[in-house]
Amino acid sequence: MKISVIGCGYLGAVHAATLASMGHTVVGIDVDPGKVEQLARGAAPFHEPGLDELLRDGRQTGRLTFSTSAAAAKDAQVHFLCVGTPQDKTSDAADLTFLVSATEALLPHLAAGAVVVGKSTVPVGTVQMLRGALAPRPDVLLAWNPEFLRQGTAVKDSLVPDRLVYGVDGGRAAAFHSGTGAPLGETAALDTVYEPLLRAGIPRLVCNFATAELIKSAANAYLATKISFINAVSELCDASGADVAELSEAMGMDPRIGGRYLHAGLGFGGGCLPKDIRSFRAQAADLGVTAVADWMRLVDSVNLGQRERTVGLAAELCGGSVAGRSITVLGASFKPDTDDIRDSPALDVADRLAAAGAHVTVTDPKAVNHAWRRYPRLRFEAAAGRALEGAELVLLLTEWDEYRRLSPEAAGAAVRRRVVLDARNVLDAAEWQAHGWVVRGLGTRGADVPAVERALPRV
Residues that bind ligand UDX (CB under 6 A): 147-151, 220, 223, 227, 261-263, 265, 267-270, 272-273, 334-335
**What count of residues does the chain have?**
459
For ligand UDX, the closer of residues 92 and 147 by Cβ is 147
Please report how close the Cβ of residue 347 comes to ligand UDX at its closest, in angstroms: 12
For ligand UDX, the closer of residues 63 and 271 by Cβ is 271
Where helices occur in 241-357 by DSSP H, the ranges are 244-252, 273-286, 290-317, 345-355
DSSP-derived secondary structure letter, 108: G
Cα–Cα distance list, 133 to 108, 117, 201 (Å): 12, 14, 35
- Supply φ then ψ for residue 96, to 5 degrees: -100, 10
For ligand UDX, the closer of residues 73 and 262 by Cβ is 262
Helix crossing, 10-21 with 51-61: angle to 10°?
Answer: 50
For ligand UDX, the closer of residues 110 and 164 by Cβ is 164
64: nearest Cα among 26, 38, 14: 26
Distance CA 215, CA 165 (A): 9
Please report how close the Cβ of residue 406 comes to ligand UDX at its closest, in angstroms: 18
Please report how close the Cβ of residue 162 comes to ligand UDX at its closest, in angstroms: 9
Q: What is the 3-state secondary structure (H, E, C) of 361-408?
A: EEECCCCHHHHHHHCCCCEECCCHHHHHCCCCEEEECCCCHHHHCCCH
Q: What angle do CA 276, 421, 331 make, to 5 degrees?
A: 50
Please report how close the Cβ of residue 268 comes to ligand UDX at its closest, in angstroms: 3
Distance CA 71, CA 50 (A): 29
For ligand UDX, the closer of residues 51 and 184 by Cβ is 51
Distance CA 443, CA 62 (A): 52
Please report how close the Cβ of residue 354 comes to ligand UDX at its closest, in angstroms: 21
Query: How many of the other CB atoms lie within 10 Å of CB of 133?
Result: 17
For ligand UDX, the closer of residues 109 and 275 by Cβ is 275
8 Å CB contact between 142 and 116: yes
Distance CA 397, CA 394 (A): 9
Please report how close the Cβ of residue 144 comes to ligand UDX at its closest, in angstroms: 14
- Stated as kind and residue range, the H or E segment containing 197 is helix 195-199
For ligand UDX, the closer of residues 28 and 270 by Cβ is 270
Distance CA 391, CA 385 (A): 11
Residue 397's identity, in one-letter code, is L
The residues that are catalytic are 272
Please report how close the Cβ of residue 265 comes to ligand UDX at its closest, in angstroms: 5
